[in-house]
Amino acid sequence: MASGIDCELSEKDRLIAELCEKEESQTANNKKKTEDKAAAEDVRKKAMQRMGGGKRKAKADGENDEASTLGGKKSRRSGGEVVEFLREKAKAEQESRTEQARQQSLQMELLRKQPEGQMQLTQALVLMLQKMSEK
Residues sharing a CB contact under 8 Å with residue 66, sequence separation 6 or more, in sequence order = 73, 75
pLDDT digits (tens, 9 = 90+) for 106-126: 999 988 888 888 888 899 999
CB hemisphere CA count around 95 (13 angstroms): 6
Give pLDDT, residue 1: 45
CA-CA distance, 45 to 52, in Å (whole number)? 10
Give pLDDT, residue 81: 87
Q: Say if pTM beats, i.e. exceeds, 0.85.
A: no
CA-CA distance, 132 to 43, in Å (whole number)? 99
Q: What is the mean pLDDT of each run of 10 residues along the chain (135 residues)?
A: 63 88 92 94 90 64 53 68 92 96 94 88 90 84
Give pLDDT, residue 113: 87
Give pLDDT, residue 4: 59
Give pLDDT, residue 24: 92
